[in-house]
Amino acid sequence: MKKKKKIDFAMIFLIIIFIIVSYCYVQLTVLHKEYINLFGFTFFRVVSGSMESTIQINDIVIVKLTNEIAEQDIITYQSNNNFITHRVISINTNDVITQGDANNTPDEPVNKNDILGKVVFIIPVVILIKVFTSPEVVGAIVASVLMLWMVFHKKKGKISKEED
């Protein structure tokens, strides 16, 4: 009975993951959004060292989509076609001054309308590497792929039999 519960839980978990991934895919490719809005949060991979030592290159930042920010918050804003994650050093009436922790000078003023939100969590790349290379996760990924293959292969077999 315990084994059946584990399998049921694994299937429900995989279905939930599939739904979330599908939702994200639709937002980016069908609706042509520039970022994913998942229950008021989004995430980005950091590509520069401007926020080191707080945020490293390839870390993932989880951003709460909000316009409620304060000085010293780390925010993500859009500048041209880029998303930039820097620390707020001052807030004026219509704009915000930010600066990367590793930068020597402040950025150009950022219009408050260009701010996506505030960084609420940082996932270090080191943790991601450890998690996704652990035997349990690799096993779960392999099992998921095999289960999906079996489901689609079984459906394909039924369709072929019905056509005969």
Instruction: Look at residue 124 and tell me whether its pLDDT is greater than 60.
Output: yes
Maximum CA extent, the chain:
72
**6 torsion bin: left (phi>0), alpha (psi -120 to 50), beta (else):** alpha
User: Higher-confidence residue: 4 or 57?
Assistant: 57
Read off the pLDDT of residues 146-162 as tens digits, 9 standing for 90 and up. 777 776 665 545 444 44
Domain boundaries, the chain: 1-33, 37-125, 134-164
Give me the torsion for CA of 131, 136, 142, 147, rounded to 10°.
Answer: -120
- What letter does residue 38 receive in the DSSP assignment? B
User: Higher-confidence residue: 147 or 37?
Assistant: 37
Which CATH superfamily hosts domain 37-125? Umud Fragment, subunit A (2.10.109.10)
Instruction: Look at residue 5 and tell me whether its pLDDT is greater than 70.
Output: no
Read off the pLDDT of residues 101-121 as tens digits, 9 standing for 90 and up. 999 999 999 999 999 999 999
The residue among 5, 28, 43, 9 whose CA lies nearest residue 128 is: 43
Tell me what percent of the chain is helix, strand and coil, each rounded to the nearest 5: 40, 25, 30
Average pLDDT on 86-114 reads 94
Decide: 60 and 42 in contact? Cβ < 8 Å.
no
| Structure tokens belonging to residue 28 | 């980016």
Read off the pLDDT of residues 38-83 as tens digits, 9 standing for 90 and up. 888 988 889 999 999 899 888 889 999 998 999 999 999 998 889 9
Q: Give residue 30's pLDDT band: very low, low, confident or very high (50, 70, 90).
A: confident
Decide: 71 and 91 in contact? Cβ < 8 Å.
yes
User: Higher-confidence residue: 86 or 126?
Assistant: 86
User: Higher-confidence residue: 30 or 156?
Assistant: 30
DSSP per-residue codes, 144-158: HHHHHHHHHHHHHHH
d(CA 43, CA 40): 11
Average pLDDT on 31-44 reads 85
pLDDT for 6 equals 56
